[in-house]
Structure 1
Amino acid sequence: MTTITLRKATRHDIDSLQHISRQTFEETFSESNTEENMKRYLEDSFAVEKLTAELEDENSAFYFAESEGAVIGYLKINFGASQTELKDHKALEIERIYVLKAFLGKNVGQVLYDKAIQIAQEQQAEYLWLGVWEENPRAIRFYEKNGFVVFDKHIFKLGDDEQTDLMMKLQLRNGT
């Protein structure tokens, strides 16, 4: 059994964050996308400058999942104006839960997800939301198992390819 610990990432973790971001994204999506589009996305989205700005954003947070001192996955959450789309102060966005392929099915994603739920409850968020690629059935099943329902769709651009993300929501409590 894998022992998983969580810790909040800081700007001192930028190299680890860039490495785990690129590796998990490539492992998950490279088979379904062109090499050129993947290369462009990995370079742009996980550039040190972009990740540093995200780490320093007070309305975003990254949490590393570690096992035996190695980063095996991470969570990125956004609040308020830092959300990628809805920007609802009553919501928390799960922007990323990425886990190394070798650790899929070993509860890492669930531990990261549970951390997002804990933070949402501490922040008194009314709901969580996220976007998941419509061609990622494993992730869709994971979120459905955890109570998320599809409420909309949006376009996600990977290089020059426009892809459809399902937008999913989990109601935590009723709005006032």
Structure 2
Amino acid sequence: MSSGTTIRPARLSEAAALSDLMRRTFVAANGHCSTPANVAAFLDTVYTPERQAQEIRDPDTLTLIVEQDGAWAGFAQLRWGTVPPAEVTLRPAVELGRIYLDAAFHGKGIAALLVTHLLAAARLRHSRSVWLNVWQESEQAIRFYRKHGFQIVGRSVFRVGDDPKDDWVMTQALPAD
């Protein structure tokens, strides 16, 4: 891990600050994907302090914070409690539900460290594969995931408010223990 970078589980006391970071990074990455009303509805449903506290307490969800020199650079989340799409055939599988960095930390190799950490955490819980959904119009994210071993295996729909978005389902097999 690069000097000054720390990856650790989110603490319950950080739910409100985490919610703020999640909202900021989602808007920066995807705020243009729908109408302001749909984006606001999505944020108010998914990225609330209460919802983050619930997810932090969930034993089948691992929410990680990545810090660079003490500042929050981003976050990621693995979810063992979700049902993978049929195209994800290698089971048990874990969902990489979220991974975002604040724009100030892009291009520093932090996201690659975070993915490595996530894949190690998935293996520790005996997952055989990791899967995710990514917006089909997010070319940068798709390139990033491909670079880190994920491949497109199917399609899904993700809703931002009442606006359906076409996503790719991507997956990666994990080495057997």
TM-score over 0.5 for the pair: yes
Q: Output the amino acid matched with 2:159.
A: K
Which residue does 2:74 correspond to in 1?
73
Q: Which residues of structure 1 form unaligned runs of 5+? A: none
Partners of 2:158 and 2:171 in 1: how far apart?
17
Counting matched residue pairs gives: 173
Q: Which amino acid aligns with 2:166?
A: T
SS of the residue corresponding to residue 121 of structure 1 reads: helix
TM-aligned CA deviation for residue 29 of structure 1: 0.7
Structure 2: segments with no counterpart, 5+ residues:
none
> Does the CA contact (< 8 Å) of 2:15 and 2:52 recur in 1?
yes
Query: What is the distance in 2 between the residues matched to 1:47 and 1:146?
Result: 30
Q: State the TM-score, normalized to the length of structure 1.
A: 0.90
1:153 aligns with 2:152: no
In 1, Cα distance between equivalents of 2:167 and 2:3: 31
Shift of 1:31: 2.4
| Structure 1 Cα separation of the partners of residues 10 and 163 of structure 2 | 31
- Structure 1: distance between partners of 2:22 and 2:40: 13
Q: Distance in 1 between matches of 2:65 and 2:71?
A: 9
Q: Distance in 2 between matches of 1:115 and 1:103?
A: 17
Q: Does 1:61 align with 2:55?
A: no
Deviation at 1:86, TM superposition (A): 4.2
1:2 and 1:154 map into 2 onto residues whose CA distance is: 38
2:149 counterpart SS class: coil
Aligned to 1:95: 97
Corresponding residue for 1:43?
Answer: 44
Aligned counterpart, 1:107: 109
When the two chains are superposed, the root-mean-square deviation of aligned CA atoms in Å is 2.1
Instruction: Write the deviation string for residues 39-71 of structure 1: whole angstroms up to 9, x where unpaired.
Output: 111111111222111111100011101112221
How many Å apart are 1:155 and its aligned residue? 0.6
In structure 1, how many angstroms separate the alpha carbons of the residues matched to 2:97 and 2:42? 16
Give the superposition deviation at 1:84.
Answer: 5.6
Q: Quickly say closer, same or farther: Cα 1:86–1:137, change in 2 above 3 A.
A: same
1:69 partner letter: G
Counterparts of 1:157 and 1:31, CA distance in 2 = 14
Structure 2 Cα separation of the partners of residues 138 and 10 of structure 1: 30
What does residue range 27-38 of structure 1 map to in structure 2 within 5 Å? Answer: 27-38=28-39
Task: Say which is worse superposed, 109-118 or 83-92, in terms of deviation.
Answer: 83-92
Residue deviations 1:134-157 (CA, integer Å, cap 9, x gap): 011111001111111111111100
TM-score (norm 2): 0.90
Query: Given that residues 129 and 169 in structure 1 are in contact (C-alpha distance below 8 angstroms), is that contact kept between their aligned partners in structure 2?
Result: yes
